[in-house]
Amino acid sequence: MCGITSATSAILLTFYHCSSDFWLPPIPVIKFYWACYWITTVVEFFIGIIYWAVVFPFRETHTHNKDALGGVYLVWTHGLPTIVFTIDHFLVAQPARFLHFIYPIGFCVLYTVFTIVYFFLGGLDANGRSYIYQVLNYEKPLIAAASVILSHMLVILLSSLQYGVYRLRTCCARKYFNDR
C-alpha cells in the first residue's frame, strides 16, 4: 500500500506540475488516491504498534536480525513508515473525514479473508506453519476471532487518532494563516 500510494501521488504531482494549464485529475483517480492514502496512513500506524508491542518482543531470533543491519531493517520496515506517514498527514493539505475509517476497515476485512483462504487452502510459511501470524492460527478459532475483532477495533481507534491529527493540522493552519 505504501508503494501504491506513493506512486499514485508521484504520478498525480508530475502531471499537475508538467501541465501548462490548471489540471485536475479525474474524480475516480482522486478518490482512489484518497482511499489509498487513508488506508496507508492508518494501517502503517497499526503495523508499527502491533509489531513493536506484540511481535517484536516474542519473535524468534533469526540470524539476519542479530546484526546491526537487521536492526536497521526492522526499524525501516516497522517504525519509519508509521512516523513518515503521520508527519506527511500532518503536513499535506488533504481533507479527512471521520468516516474514512471504512477504507482501512475494508482493507482489513480483505486481509482477514485472505488469511482464512490461505489457511484453508493449506498455505504454508517458510517454516512450514499453516498460518501467517500465530494470532491468526485458525486451528485456534477463538484466539483468531478475538485477534481479528481487536484488530478491527484498533484500526478504528487509530483512524480516529489520525482524524485528530487532521483536526490539529487544520486548527494550526487556521491560527497561523489568520494571524498573518
Percent of the residues in the chain that have a pLDDT greater than 70, as a whole number: 94
Phi-psi domain of 61 (left: phi exceeds 0; alpha: psi -120 through 50; beta: other) = beta
Span 40-49, pLDDT tens digits:
999 999 999 9
Asked if residue 64 has pLDDT above 60, the reply is: no
The pLDDT-based confidence of 63 (bands split at 50, 70, 90) is very low
Count other C-beta atoms under 10 Å from residue 140's C-beta: 14
Tell me the whole-structure pTM to 2 decimals.
0.82
pLDDT digits (tens, 9 = 90+) for 74-101: 888 888 888 888 888 888 888 889 999 9
pLDDT number for residue 149? 96
Mean pLDDT of the chain: 87
Mean pLDDT of 143-150: 94
